[in-house]
């Protein structure tokens, strides 16, 4: 049997806080993240303003095996959003943390950027790390050698790669060479036309595993501008 570089002896968990104006049948367990932290990870100003009137908390915590983690994570978000919709509340993904600003019927595992954010703290060093993949029992991913001037293209390729990772994990270990197509990217970014996006344009990436920092290191094996995004 071929050894798997990425550990599978993990117990992933997902945690959401449903914040409401009136108390639900639960105790307020932990203080919500600050507005500054929520804003840092992409929460909208409208959502942050809504949160100010929601002082009570219902915690949704789920754990799952790796085989079930994708569906458990999806269902936990749907349940949190349904509860918030019923009580005019706000949902916080405590793993990232950020406010989930979507309807329950919009949740999709194929739409990869629903499940992680990219940190731009190290963009000047050519690094784009994710935050959020640990909910699926995956290491966080870091794209290396990013061109700061064209970093949105690197982010798009990352979205396509994460789309593939979520679909294939844990059946396939992510380490090795992978091909990211325009269709993968369209799905990852939540494009309504993803199913009809051509697959003939593609870019290979190399994924290695840093066991010391528990990270997936991603290197693009080509220029995304020339290979994917130039007409």
Contact call for residues 168 and 150 (beta carbons, < 8 A): no
Nearest partner of 109 among 10, 197, 219, 14, judged by Cα: 14
Nearest partner of 138 among 67, 220, 215, judged by Cα: 215
pLDDT digits over 7-60, tens only? 999 999 999 999 999 988 776 677 889 999 999 999 999 999 999 999 899 999
pLDDT digits over 112-122, tens only? 999 999 999 99
Residue ranges covered by each domain of the chain:
13-106, 112-229
Q: Largest Cα–Cα distance in the chain? A: 56
Total-model pTM = 0.94
CA-CA distance, 81 to 95, in Å (whole number)? 16
> Average pLDDT over the chain, rounded to whole?
94
Nearest partner of 164 among 154, 177, 151, judged by Cα: 177
pLDDT value at 146 more than 60 = yes
Nearest partner of 207 among 184, 177, 181, 167, judged by Cα: 177
């Amino acid at each position: 049997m071929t050894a798997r570089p990425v550990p599978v002896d993990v117990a992933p968990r997902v945690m959401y806080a449903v914040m409401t104006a009136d108390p639900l049948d639960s105790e307020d367990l932990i203080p919500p993240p600050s507005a500054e932290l929520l804003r840092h990870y992409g929460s909208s100003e409208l959502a942050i303003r809504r949160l100010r009137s929601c002082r009570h908390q219902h915690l949704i915590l789920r754990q799952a095996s790796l085989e079930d983690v994708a569906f458990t994570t999806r269902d936990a978000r749907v349940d949190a959003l349904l509860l918030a919709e019923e009580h005019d509340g706000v949902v916080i993904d405590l793993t990232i943390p950020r406010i989930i600003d979507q309807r329950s019927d919009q949740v999709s595992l194929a739409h990869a950027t629903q499940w992680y954010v990219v940190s731009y703290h190290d963009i000047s060093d050519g690094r784009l790390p994710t935050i959020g993949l640990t909910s699926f029992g995956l290491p966080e991913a870091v794209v290396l050698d990013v061109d700061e001037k064209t970093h949105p293209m690197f982010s798009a390729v990352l979205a396509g790669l994460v789309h593939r990772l979520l679909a294939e994990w844990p059946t396939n270990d992510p380490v090795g060479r992978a091909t990211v197509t325009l269709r993968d990217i369209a799905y990852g970014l939540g494009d309504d036309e993803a199913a009809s996006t051509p697959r003939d344009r593609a870019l290979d990436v190399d994924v290695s595993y840093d066991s010391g920092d528990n990270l997936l290191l991603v290197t693009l094996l080509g220029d995304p501008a020339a290979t994917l995004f130039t007409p």
